[in-house]
Amino acid sequence: MKVLFERLTSLRFRLAVGFAIAGILASALAVSLSYLQARNHLFREKQNKLTALAANAALQINGDAHAQLQTPADMNTDIYRELQAKGFAIAATDPEILYVYTMRKNKAGEIYFVLDAGHDPGATSEEYQPVAVGTVYENPSKFLLENFDAIRTPTAETDFYTDEFGTYLTAYAPIYRSDGQVEGIVGVDILAQDILAQQQEFFRTFVLLFLASAMGAAGLGWLAGIQIADPVLELAKATANVRETGKRLELRTGIRELNRVIESFNNLLDTLQADKEQLRQQTASLSAQNEEIRQTVDLLEKRASQLEIISEIVKATTSIENLQTLLPRITTAISERMGYYHVGIFLVDDNREYAVLRAANSPGGQRMLARGHKLKIGRSGIVGYAAAVSIPRIALDVGADATYFDNPDLPGTRSEMALPLIIGGQVIGVLDVQSTQPNAFQEEDVRLLNILADQIAVAIQNARSYETMQELLEKAQKASGVYLKDAWRILRAEGTKIGFRVAEDEAAPLHRPWMTPYNQKALVEKQTVTENGMNATLAVPIRLRGEVIGVLDIRTRGEHEWDEDEVDLAEAVADRLSLILETSLLLKSTQQRAEIERTINQIAARLQETPDIEVLLRVAAAETQHALRLPEVTIQLNPPPPPTETEMEKLT
């Protein structure tokens, strides 16, 4: 026992056992960390790869065409087949992709499938049977349910998910229509077992590496402890100084086995260094992919913003507004959405001599508007140049451009672009855009502003046409009002009854106005007046060309509450009556004027029958007396007074 105790407590044994255990633990820790890093890296790599695939798939699917797929019958259309072919093409780009599909929500808030492409595990795409358009997703993941309406950028599931179709890792991306609205969500699936198989392969490799490292460390430690303690201590001291995997143990002993341990340790360091370098390269690759995705997302966001600006200007072109309201709104929208220092709109004057500033967003532009700023066409700055030659002009560095007009109201301008507003081949104005940055206008900006300039020209033309139509309409309404007043005067002159009263199926004309407090209120307020209860009253104004010309008075003898249908019916009768009255008045006036013209023509014809002055005067008086039905008509020609003596002297 004593000998056994001494051996167990000897330096050799303790060193051998301790070193062996330390080697095993070190190997286990290093291998475990490496395995965990490799496994997590593999999963993140798959997530990033899926996210990029989903983003690419969303870009390739036409949102406007996708919006037309609503029912299973649409699966037989060319649009569905074309979009499904793109889905199969996307799935074919990577062997790991199983399914590419699109989804949207129905009115009940359920997620359902629209497009479906891919292939089942172990099958080809030709054998694949897609789900019908409108099929409800029975068991979507919690992540998809919670984030479906908020998905605006490509994103991936945070873990594997199992549904009725299998266990997958999935990424999603939004599909946009041309108006910038989200049309649906595209999903890309890869089978989870492929990732798990790769992780298991990593695990087996690292287990073997651990076993090999542990066994080597244990054996070498045991042999080193048996041979000599000093080299072990020396080795322990040397290994204690190792802090980085790139360093090697520069240690040699007279014991071959111990040197092998040192070499194995160095090999392990080399392996870890290689793994570290590989991880660094993969991290750099993922960073590059992330940067590319970020740039793609930034581009999509910029395009969406540009489409939104164009949409806003297009809405302005379709809305009927006057120029005083329309033009400032356009300049403010362009400046705020695109970040320009100054946006101004010039209109060419009637003589086509000056371009006159009509709207601007900047404080300097407001000062220019206040003093009636205008530029000579063809002479003053790039605005005058663009108005003269009908082509856009850009000054990327205003300090170096000879045609730039130095404006003290806009001291911050470094670059400027002027785009002519053209309708029917003729320049009607200029869109002036200025930035505080030199070289601010890229090709994409020029293209967008050209589109905006065309839309602004249409908006201005529409507004001008609308103003002209409003003026003509106002004149027509005034003329019609005068015509109706004449007709109303003729009607009163003929003694037409002012109204009728019907009670108990008996109708009687009104010989004097029927005026009650309710009628008076309806005439003054020009609104329907209702009084419920005993002897309920309903007074509805009768309008003609915006003026109240009468009242429809309805009464009951008992208790009554007027309901909405009764009021609507009475108001409808009053409206129809006003329209028919207007038509009748116009007809009456036309007939009266026609009769007057006929009478005048008859009198003129009778007067033309005789050349004698006396007969002519007698006939004119008689015909006028007969036409006007008057008791007496006198026609007198006053001869000129005799000339004075002075006038006679001048004549002689």
Average pLDDT over residues 269-288: 81
CA distances from 616 to 619, 627, 632, 636, 639 (A): 5, 16, 17, 12, 17
> Do 133 and 154 reside in the same domain of the chain?
yes
* 128 in Cβ contact with 120 (< 8 Å): yes
> Do 126 and 71 reside in the same domain of the chain?
yes
* 60 in Cβ contact with 253 (< 8 Å): no
**Mind listing the pLDDT tens digit for each residue in 135-166?**
998 888 888 889 999 999 999 988 887 766 67
- Which of 268, 300, 318 is at the close of a domain? 318
Cα 415 from Cα 399, distance rounded (Å): 9
Looking at per-residue pLDDT, the higher value among 504 and 562 belongs to 562
Confirm whether 484 is domain-assigned.
no
> Do 159 and 125 reside in the same domain of the chain?
yes
Average pLDDT over residues 387-395: 87
> Do 45 and 141 reside in the same domain of the chain?
yes
> Do 626 and 575 reside in the same domain of the chain?
no
pLDDT of 326 reads: 84
> Do 547 and 449 reside in the same domain of the chain?
no
Confirm whether 600 is domain-assigned.
no
Average pLDDT over residues 256-275: 74
Cα 235 from Cα 295, distance rounded (Å): 52
370: confidence class by pLDDT, cuts 50, 70, 90: very high
Average pLDDT over residues 409-413: 87
**Mind listing the pLDDT tens digit for each residue in 424-456?**
889 999 999 999 888 888 888 888 888 888 888
- Which of 264, 293, 318 is at the close of a domain? 318
Confirm whether 490 is domain-assigned.
no
Cα 234 from Cα 255, distance rounded (Å): 12
- Which of 318, 334, 349 is at the close of a domain? 318
**Mind listing the pLDDT tens digit for each residue in 458-473?**
888 888 888 888 787 7
Average pLDDT score over the chain: 78
> Do 583 and 648 reside in the same domain of the chain?
no
pLDDT of 102 reads: 94
402: confidence class by pLDDT, cuts 50, 70, 90: very low
Cα 78 from Cα 430, distance rounded (Å): 44
Confirm whether 598 is domain-assigned.
no
Confirm whether 601 is domain-assigned.
no
> Do 242 and 352 reside in the same domain of the chain?
no
639: confidence class by pLDDT, cuts 50, 70, 90: low
> Do 16 and 154 reside in the same domain of the chain?
yes
Q: Would the pLDDT of 650 be above 60?
A: no
Confirm whether 493 is domain-assigned.
no
Confirm whether 487 is domain-assigned.
no
Looking at per-residue pLDDT, the higher value among 480 and 128 belongs to 128
**Mind listing the pLDDT tens digit for each residue in 194-231?**
666 666 665 667 667 667 766 776 666 666 555 555 56
* Both structure tokens of 58: 């969303």
pLDDT of 244 reads: 55
Number of domains in the chain: 4
Average pLDDT over residues 621-635: 72
**Closest to 188 measured CA to CA, from 16, 63, 60:** 60
Show the domain range for 652: 610-652
Alpha helices in 496-563 (DSSP H): 517-525
> Do 194 and 313 reside in the same domain of the chain?
yes
CATH number of 509's domain: 3.30.450.40
CATH number of 45's domain: 3.30.450.20
In degrees and rounded to multiples of 5, residue 434 shows phi and psi of -130, 145
Whether this prediction's pTM lies above 0.75 is answered by no
Confirm whether 475 is domain-assigned.
no
Q: Would the pLDDT of 262 be above 90?
A: no
290: confidence class by pLDDT, cuts 50, 70, 90: confident
**Mind listing the pLDDT tens digit for each residue in 306-356?**
677 777 666 655 665 678 888 898 888 888 888 889 999 999 998 989 999
**Which residue type is seen at 561?**
E
* 415 in Cβ contact with 397 (< 8 Å): yes
> Do 31 and 46 reside in the same domain of the chain?
yes
> Do 119 and 255 reside in the same domain of the chain?
yes
